[in-house]
A = this chain, B = another copy of it.
Amino acid sequence: MFKVSVLYPAADGARFDHAYYAGTHMPLSGRLLQPLYYEIDQGLAGGAPGAPAPFVGGCHFYFANLEGFQAAFGAHGAELQADIPAFTDIAPEIQISSVVARAGTGSAPHWASGI
């Protein structure tokens, strides 16, 4: 399984509308990109006590293969990018990863899926 992460680095004075992001931008992204699923994060903290979150927020799109993402992003990327100023003035950092393992101690629906 592959994951496309879109991460918005925290910056002093930067604007980020979490409600618009989760309520409007991400549902649009899901409809256009058709990932297996996506996850939306809101940054809370960094690792050290009192440290701020490195990223104000972001999302992760999970795909069975990268070709599916590339085709969908080629077709709809411009529309999605044009919507970014509606919720933030931060330039996102994009990471494409292979999800190499998933394991858990919780109930199966949390983590058991073909990767």
Contacts and interface: CB of A to CB of B under 8 A. Distances in A.
Contact of A36 (B39, B100, B110): B110
A36 B111 contact: yes
List the number of copies, as a whole number. 2
Contact of A40 (B26, B46, B101, B107): B101
B38 A102 contact: yes
Contacts of A112: 109
Given A35-B105, A109-B112, A100 B3 contact: no
A41 B99 contact: yes
Nearest to A61: B104
28 contacts: A18-B100, A26-B101, A35-B105, A36-B106, A36-B110, A37-B102, A37-B104, A37-B105, A37-B110, A37-B111, A38-B103, A38-B104, A38-B111, A39-B99, A40-B100, A40-B101, A40-B102, A41-B97, A41-B98, A41-B99, A43-B95, A46-B95, A53-B95, A54-B95, A58-B97, A62-B110, A109-B109, A110-B113
